[in-house]
Amino acid sequence: MATYAIETRELRKRYRTRLGGFLRGQYKWVEALRGVSFHVDWGEIYGLLGPNGAGKTTIVKIIATLLEPDSGDAFVAGYSSVRDPGRVRQVIGVMLSVERGFFWKLTARENLKYFGMLYGLPSSKLGDKIEEVLELTGLKELGAEEKRFEDMSLGMKARLGLARALLKDPQVLLLDEPTLGLDPPSARHIRGLLRELANDGRAVLVTTHNMFEAEILCDRIGIISDGRIVAEGPPQELKRRVSDTVSITATLTGIVAEGLSAKVSGSGYKMLYRVEGERVRVRIQAKRGEEVEVLDLLTRLARDSGARILEVRVEEPTLEDVFIAITGGGRWE
Chain contacts with another protein (rule: CB under 8 A): 61, 64-68, 85-86, 89, 92, 94, 96-97, 99-106, 110, 113-115, 117-120, 148, 164
Which bin fits 271, alpha (ψ -120 to 50), beta or left (φ > 0)?
beta
CB of 29 to another protein, least distance (A): 14
> Shortest approach of another protein to residue 23 CB, angstroms?
16
Distance CA 40, CA 169 (A): 18
Q: Which is nearer to another protein, 95 or 271 (CB)?
A: 95
Region of 148 (left: φ > 0; alpha: ψ -120 to 50; beta: rest) is: beta
Nearest distance, CB of residue 119 and another protein, angstroms: 5
Facing residues of 229 across strands?
224
Nearer Cβ to another protein (75/115): 115
272: CB partners within 8 A, 6+ apart: 282, 283, 285, 320, 323, 324, 329, 330, 331, 332
The strand ranges marked E within 144-244 are 172-176, 203-208, 220-225, 228-233
Q: Which is nearer to another protein, 101 or 330 (CB)?
A: 101
Q: Minimal distance in Å, beta carbon 101 to another protein?
A: 4
Total residue length of the chain: 333
| Distance in Å, CB of 274 to another protein, minimum | 26
State which residue, 113 or 270, has the beta carbon closest to another protein. Answer: 113
- Return the percent helix, strand and coil in the chain, to nearest 5: 35, 30, 30
Q: Which residues does 21 contact at the CB level (< 8 Å), separation at least 6?
A: none
Is residue 99 within 8 A of residue 154, CB to CB? The reply is: yes
Could you tell me the smallest distance in angstroms from the CB atom of residue 213 to another protein? 23
Cβ–Cβ under 8 Å, residues 264 and 257: no
**170 or 317, CB closer to another protein?**
170
Residue placing its CB nearer to another protein in the complex, 65 or 318: 65
Q: Which is nearer to another protein, 61 or 270 (CB)?
A: 61
Using DSSP bridges, classify how beta strands 308-315 and 270-276 pair: parallel, antiparallel or unpaired.
unpaired
Q: How far is the CB of 275 from another protein (least distance, A)?
A: 27
